Amino acid sequence: MKSLIILGARQHAKVVFALLQEACADEWKVRGFLDDDPRMQDSELLGVPVLGPVEKLQDLVARGEVQGALVGVSCGHMPARARLFEKIKKFALEAPRVISPSAYVHPTASVGSGSVLCTGAVVNAFATVGANCVLYSNSTVEHECVLEDNVYIGPGVNFCADVHVAAGTFIGTGANVICERVGADVIIGAGAAVVKSVPDGSVVAGVPARIIRQRSPEERAQSYALRHSLSI
């Protein structure tokens, strides 16, 4: 059995851990969590130790103690999710796909490394889900949709067919996406009905959805580390 580290030790990390236990327990054992928050040090989460800050990953790899890793940072910190996944790739660790037994992935669809599909998620025919994506419970990615890397989909989100979602985008609970393209680093509010394509860096909400504002490049690049002391 291979050992795995989860980067982050808060709410989403618990979801990733639980799904691993449900879907991959015969292949992967969680060695521990890494989180820079001093309050988390020398503690346990779900009976598994928090081993130290994120920088300790390098030592664990050098000692051959872990073969895989997953991002356990939530949707509020999208730049951090992407950068932590780059760390996993830098150390040539395996990032397994974690797919709930109750999720459905059509044989012609593809799901990238490190992606997590929660209870009841559906990825239909010829759809593509990139690396390090999260599809929360009862979300639906219809046929021939493309989700690029680092996309985070809330519970109950529905995509119509042939929607292209660029990297780093977050789509809130219960949104319906019926447009051709959603740009990079977009935030779509909960319950929105997106009927027109959305440009990069937009924040949209409403029924029908409209652009509330455009985020600056600096805001789009703002890291979780600046706000919450998680080194990336």
- Whole-number Å distance between alpha carbons of 75 and 154: 9
Find, among 161, 193, 199, the residue nearest to 176 by Cα: 193
Sign of torsion over alpha carbons 76, 78, 82, 83: negative
Structure tokens that stand for 45 in this block = 């989460």
What's the token pair of residue 108?
């012609």
pLDDT, average across residues 48-54 = 94
Are 39 and 230 in contact, with CB atoms under 8 Å apart? no
pLDDT at 228: 37
Q: Sorting pLDDT into bands at 50, 70 and 90, what band is 155? A: very high
- Please tell me the distance from the alpha carbon of residue 88 to that of residue 97, in angstroms, as a whole number: 14
Average pLDDT in the chain: 91
Mean pLDDT of 183-206: 96
Evaluate if residue 206 carries a pLDDT over 60: yes
Residue found under tokens 């979780």 = 224
Summarize the confidence of residues 74-82 as an average pLDDT.
77
pLDDT (tens digit per residue) in 142-152: 999 999 999 99
- Rounded to whole angstroms, the Cα distance separating 115 from 196 reads 27
Looking at 28-37, 39-48, 108-117, which range is the least confident one? Answer: 39-48
Q: How many H-runs (helices) and E-runs (strands) does the chain carry? A: 5, 24
Query: Please, what sign has the CA dihedral across residues 20, 25, 31, 32?
Result: positive
Q: Please tell me the total number of residues recorded for the chain in this structure.
A: 232
Structural element, H or E, at residue 89: helix 78-90
pTM: 0.91
pLDDT at 208: 96
pLDDT attached to residue 77: 66
Cα-flanking dihedrals φ and ψ of residue 58, to 5°? Answer: -60, -45
Within 62-208, strands assigned E span 68-71, 98-99, 104-105, 110-111, 116-117, 122-123, 128-129, 134-135, 140-141, 146-147, 152-153, 158-159, 164-165, 170-171, 176-177, 181-182, 187-188, 193-194, 202-205
* Res 27: pLDDT: 96
